[in-house]
Amino acid sequence: MLKKLTEIHAVLTQVKAQVERALTQEVLTLRFGWEFEWYLHHDGKETQHLGLIDLPPLMYLDGGKPGHQLSWGLRFYTLRHAGTELRAVELLTPRKWEFPDVWFVPTGQVRRLYRYLLRRQRRAKREQPPIMPPGEQQSLWDNTIGVLKRDQRLLRQYRITQKRGVLLLGSPGNGKTMACRWLRYEALRRGLAWNQVTSEEFQAARSNGSIRDLFSLDEPGVILFDDFDMALRDRQRYGDEGQSTFLTEMDGMHPKHGVIYLFTSNLNLDELDPAAKRPGRLDQILHFNNPTAELRRRFVRETWPAPLLEKFDWERVVADSHGWSFAEMEEARKSAVIRWLETGQVDWSPTLAKMQARFSQEPLRRPVGFATGNHGVVGEIIGPAAQMTSIYK
């Protein structure tokens, strides 16, 4: 153990010196919590990347956006705050269990960057719960945050692993992202960990042998695998593109405790690999179809400005929006509000005509509407996981 720590310290010392040469100033070696890291990635502008010490940067290439990314090296960020340019450098390595998540920040900017991150955290708005039938929202809660907040001693007494796999399935624009944002907020405010993995990160980890890192957390929390069609679809129909490795890590030789695997996907239910639906991997599937009339009514009541609600025939809005997704409902809301702000006119007809014109330009638009399927729980997977549900409820 001591030898390993000594080796890590020696490498970090060399990398720190490399960063100081690049920035021409002294830096401090730091670690950030997940939320602070998210703000740095989201708010920071990537200015350059370098390889480690004397090595060239190791890039990961893929056909998706952005098409390539740094897999191993140093990533330099700049942030603007109160007229000052703040710098931060992220160390990326292929094996996180050997090297910690490390950042380098100019010594003279550490306090200002910390204040910026704290203010950014305070400004973060409370995420509203997703618009779902109350029973389904409660079911989503019970199988994610609710599992992690249960008494671990009681679960151990009944030999139940504090682990769940939950899949949010359905076409884009119908609330999967809203549900994930809500869960993320609720997890972080309760001191639970949250990590997000993209398909690009999965492919990069697969190529450098660090997939196990993606399925582990240092403390109880949620790991979101966002838009993970590739790892969940049927191998018999689409071929094995890493599904076997992915499924093995979910419940393989190294049992996971205190973790919720949360997935989002646009696949149809029959496109999922049968092995993925096995209890212990996916314990619950929630389907997000186009909203029912009642859910559209809730969307209008909860998101439209009060002055418009007083003047609009919002029941007509609900009726005219049959078959629309939540994303399309939001587009219509913005259009109506902008027209009201610019002209002072309260008229639904121009917005409806605009939306209908948009739909007419999409000849391949899939049939939509409540008739296409129920918005809600597809079902608990039959088996041991169903027995666990009675303890979680």
Residue type (1 letter), 190: R
Q: How far is CA 146 from CA 61, 128, 142, 181, in A?
A: 38, 18, 4, 16
pLDDT at 122 over 80: no
pLDDT at 77 over 80: yes
pLDDT at 358 over 90: no
Residues 6+ positions from 10 with CB-CB distance below 8 Å:
none
End-to-end CA distance of the chain: 43
- Cα(330)–Cα(106) distance, integer angstroms: 42
What is the tens place of the pLDDT at every residue in 254-269? 556 788 999 999 888 8
Residue type (1 letter), 168: L
Q: Find out whether 178 and 17 touch, Cβ atoms under 8 Å.
A: no
Local structure of 333: helix, strand or coil: helix
The percent of residues above 90 in pLDDT, for the chain, comes to 26
What is the tens place of the pLDDT at every residue in 25-67? 999 999 988 778 878 987 888 899 898 888 888 776 654 444 5
- Cα(354)–Cα(115) distance, integer angstroms: 45
- Cα(124)–Cα(381) distance, integer angstroms: 36
Residues 6+ positions from 27 with CB-CB distance below 8 Å:
16, 19, 20, 89, 104, 105, 106, 107
- Cα(59)–Cα(170) distance, integer angstroms: 33
| Two structure tokens written together for 160 | 């139940």
- Cα(71)–Cα(208) distance, integer angstroms: 9
Local structure of 187: helix, strand or coil: helix
Instruction: Say which residue, 364 or 388, is predicted with more confidence.
Output: 364
| Two structure tokens written together for 124 | 């973060």
Residue type (1 letter), 41: H
What is the tens place of the pLDDT at every residue in 183-217? 998 888 788 888 888 878 888 887 777 777 888 88
What is the tens place of the pLDDT at every residue in 276-300? 887 778 888 999 989 999 999 999 9
- pLDDT value of residue 156: 63
Q: Which of these ranges, 44-53, 239-248, 318-327, has the smallest mean pLDDT?
A: 239-248
Rounded to the nearest angstrom, the gap between the alpha carbon of residue 176 and the centroid of all alpha carbons in its chain is 10
Sign of CA dihedral 151, 261, 141, 193: positive
- Cα(286)–Cα(167) distance, integer angstroms: 6
Strand order of the sheet with strand 193-197?
Answer: 193-197, 221-225, 259-265, 163-169, 284-287, 376-380
β-strand partners of 194: 222
Which spans in the chain are helix H? 2-23, 34-43, 110-123, 134-142, 145-148, 152-157, 176-189, 199-208, 211-214, 229-232, 235-238, 243-251, 293-303, 306-311, 314-320, 326-343, 348-360, 384-392
Angle at 79 between CA 87 and CA 45, to 5 degrees: 95
Q: Find out whether 16 and 27 touch, Cβ atoms under 8 Å.
A: yes
The pTM of the full predicted model, rounded to 2 decimals, is 0.62
